[in-house]
Structure 1
Amino acid sequence: MAKTYVTAVIVAKEGCEALLEKELRKVVDEVRAESGCLRYDLHRSGRGDAFLFYEIWESPAHLDAHSRAPHMAAMHEATASLTACPTEVTLWEAVDAAG
């Protein structure tokens, strides 16, 4: 199976940036320990109001299992009132630039 690349952009409501970041940080170590997780990095925009998860998974099946993990459900519940809009999740395919 092909590796699965994901970006997830989360935008904070005004005044909720620090609390949102705190909640997002809570899942990083747990996700990195999940089966099939090759990379799971959290980034903050220069303005400080948007966050980006950059993820690499061994396969779509591993990503699917990740989406059903209890700690992800807890994170979604904890951040629902802190976000300005729905999370924008994008799946990506690697491009072989040498070929």
Structure 2
Amino acid sequence: MSIYLTAIVKSKPETKEELSKILLNMVIQSRKEAACIQYDLHEDAVHDLFIFHEEWADQAGLDLHNQQEYLLDFVAKSSELTTEILIHQTNKIA
């Protein structure tokens, strides 16, 4: 059963360019993972928001994703680059 995530990342205005580069690298790396079905990044430039739409094959694959070095690096830098990160796990209903 697939796992669906929407992650909303609010950038600090002064770190938006640096954050964008890190997030784009996360897309490249995540799409290489076996359990990754979808990993898309959207931007709301007016509000300095980056929005991920993710689909993972299973919990084990998502758990492995959450242990990847590139993701851990982002987490370590996130307080310097962002003002808020929200992650929603949802169920597909249609």
**Is the TM-score greater than 0.5?**
yes
Larger fraction in strand: 2
Conserved? CA contact 1:17–1:48, under 8 Å = no
Runs (4+) of structure 1 exceeding 3 A deviation are: none
Among the aligned pairs, what percent are the same residue?
A: 29
Indicate the residue corresponding to 1:53 in structure 2. 52
Larger fraction in helix: 2
Paired AA for residue 94 in structure 1: K
Paired AA for residue 9 in structure 2: I
Gaps of at least 5 residues in structure 1 are none
Indicate the residue corresponding to 2:42 in structure 1. 43
Matched, 1:28 2:27: yes
Number of residue pairs the alignment of both structures matches: 94
Q: What TM-score do the two structures reach when normalised by structure 1?
A: 0.86
Q: Distance in 2 between matches of 1:11 and 1:28?
A: 17
* Superposed CA RMSD: 1.4
Indicate the residue corresponding to 2:10 in structure 1. 11
